Amino acid sequence: MTTPIRALILGSGYAGEGHTLALRRAGVDVVAMAGRTASAVEAAAQRLQIPRAGTDYRQMLAELRPEIVAVGTPGGAHLEQCLAAIDAGCHVLCDKPLATTAADARQIYAAARAKGVKTAYAASYRYQPQALVARQLVRGGAIGPVWEVECVSHYNWPRLMPFGWPHRLDQGGGRLNNNFTHKLSIVQHVVGGEILAAMGETRNDLKRVPIGERIHDFRDYNRRAFHADEAAQREWAEVDSDWSYTVLVRIGERAAGPEDAVSATFRHSALPFGKNKDYIAFYGAEGVLHIDGAYAQGALYLHTGGDTWDELPVPDRIYAALPPEPDHSQRNWDQLAREFVADVRGEGDAGYQTFRDGWIYQEVIDIARSGQGWAEVAAEIG
């Protein structure tokens, strides 16, 4: 009989719920949930039928000694929580960003490596079915050697969302931490290779937002956006997080020269409308692969000559290999949890992302925010 694996969930909002469902579907017994606000975590635990809920996660770590800790809190809490879980000898799944700075992410990764625990980093949209088809086509030579990749999106987030962690860099806010990470994961998974160098710039287009009641679930930031007349009656807070970015990344093999690397461009704005659809496009020597949707959620097209674009279906075998979940965010969490838990059980590593990836991605983010121009991205901590 397989020994039961137990998990403690940190965070009672959107990611905490997603991690709970994903780990359960992977055969894990979710025994407790901890959150910052007693009423919110108790309500979430009751809804999700988790037997224990509270605000003191360190006490739960000591008393329950779970095999897995899933961190679904805002990024500003990740350093302390991940280090505590690692120190307790737990395997750790953490949502993006791994930390708010590259230095903190490096510390988390180094601690996990020294302790010998397994880690999973949830920039999980690489599991989108369309992205998996793109990976197979690109790796199979359908467009020849890849030269360039473009990721373009315009989200039109409400300008009058209530103030909270998305507006604060020290709490893991900003679009680089919470949007760019998914896109970089998709691109790297499709084209392969290491992240070699990066440059970029960001903009803070919000400046100030109205203050409302504390939000416990990420989905409620949209739902509770103020009307202009309501916002005018509120106190306002300063925003310091990035709401648009342009990032250039070179992806390839370290032994090769920069001319052999794939040039990837990531352009995002969270506030204005865009006339055209969001998309990801892979440009090769022999063709182009285009996917509608910022996270590769839309139609997939192949162009290999002439004026035609052939729409490609997602093969049934792709869907059959993924968890049977209709919501794409939850399905992607489910697949990551499936691979992570299988590795924890000793059944093999399917190549899921780890804290090493989370650290490297944060290095890229720090470079982009600095505006310093091209900079090499570290390969390992030594």
- The strand order across the sheet containing 244-252 reads 310-312, 300-303, 288-292, 279-284, 146-154, 262-269, 244-252, 194-203, 375-376
Which pLDDT belongs to residue 257?
78
Q: How far apart are CA 100 and CA 105, in angstroms?
A: 7
On the question of pLDDT at 1 being above 60, the answer is no
Q: What is the mean pLDDT of the chain?
A: 96
Which pLDDT belongs to residue 3?
80
- DSSP code string of 147-214: EEEEEEEE----TTPPPSGGG-GGGT-SHIIIIIHHHHHHHHHHH-SEEEEEEEEEE----EEE--SP
Per the CB < 8 A criterion, the answer to whether 32 and 63 are in contact is no
What are 313-355's pLDDT values in tens digits?
Answer: 999 999 999 999 999 999 999 999 999 999 999 999 999 999 9
Longest dimension (CA), the chain: 66
Burial of 213-244, coded b for 16+ CB within 10 Å and e otherwise, reads eebbbbebbeebbbeeeebeeeeeeebebbbb
Report the SS3 class of residue 268: strand
Residues 6+ away with beta carbon under 8 Å from 104: 78, 79, 362
What are 231-253's pLDDT values in tens digits?
Answer: 999 999 999 999 999 999 999 99
pTM confidence score: 0.97
What are 283-317's pLDDT values in tens digits?
Answer: 999 999 999 999 999 999 999 988 899 999 999 99
What are 148-198's pLDDT values in tens digits?
Answer: 999 999 998 999 999 999 999 999 999 999 999 999 999 999 999 999 999
What are 352-371's pLDDT values in tens digits?
Answer: 999 999 999 999 999 999 99
Tell me the CB-side half-sphere exposure of residue 319, using CA atoms within 13 A: 9
Confidence of residue 83 (pLDDT cuts 50, 70, 90): very high
Residues 6+ away with beta carbon under 8 Å from 65: 88
**Cβ atoms within 10 Å of 276's Cβ, excluding its own:** 8
Residue 333, CA distances (Å) to 124, 161, 183 in order: 6, 26, 15
Tell me the domains of the chain and their CATH numbers: 6-125+332-353 (3.40.50.720), 126-325+359-376 (3.30.360.10)
Per the CB < 8 A criterion, the answer to whether 78 and 97 are in contact is yes
